[in-house]
Amino acid sequence: MSRVKILFPDYNPLYTATIPVRIGDINYGNHVGNDSLLSVIHEARMQMLRARGYTEMKIAGTSMIMADVMIAYKGEAFYGDTLLVKIYTGEVSGSTFTFLYHISTVRDGFSKDIAHAKTGMVCFDYDTRKIGTMTTELSDFLLQGQ
């Protein structure tokens, strides 16, 4: 079986979020469930946008919608852990772009990878319900630090 591989750039992340693992994130295996990990990714993205005065509905003169997601699980996270989510910009092209998420936790003084994820985002006009246009402001935000 072919595994999902997500490669991270060698530049600084756009944002780093810290998210505590809640009891509701734990599944029958006593670790963070896959459905909860997608919520963690969303929370990290929302924290990043909010820190810049953006939302998914109003980001740099446009809006965005998630078109796809890939998650590669690397390890377990447990109740009481704090997840460190580093968000990077991946590809930027036309009306689309990707965010890359490196999710880890620190346990016993060592960093441990929990998951790598990638979301494909599309500029979207919620009034017309059609693909929107990437603004220069959004492009500048996405490409900062590269």
What is the per-residue pLDDT across 56-80, written as a single tens digit (0 to 9) for each?
A: 999 999 999 999 999 999 999 999 9
What average pLDDT does the structure give for the chain?
95
Residue 61 within a domain:
yes
CA pair distance 41, 119, nearest whole angstrom: 9
Number of domains in the chain: 1
Give the confidence band of 108 by pLDDT, cuts at 50, 70, 90. Answer: confident
- Identify the domain containing residue 30 by its residue range: 15-143
Residue pair 70/6 in contact by the 8 Å Cβ criterion:
yes
Residue 22 within a domain:
yes
What is the per-residue pLDDT across 30-43, written as a single tens digit (0 to 9) for each?
A: 999 999 999 999 99
- What average pLDDT does range 87-105 have in this prediction? 97
pLDDT at 122: 98
Residue 8 within a domain:
no
> What is the chain's Cα-based Rg?
16
What's the CATH number where 74 sits? 3.10.129.10
Residue 63 within a domain:
yes
Please name the residues in contact with 94: beta carbons below 8 A apart, sequence gap of 6 or more.
134
- What average pLDDT does range 129-142 have in this prediction? 95
Give the confidence band of 87 by pLDDT, cuts at 50, 70, 90. Answer: very high
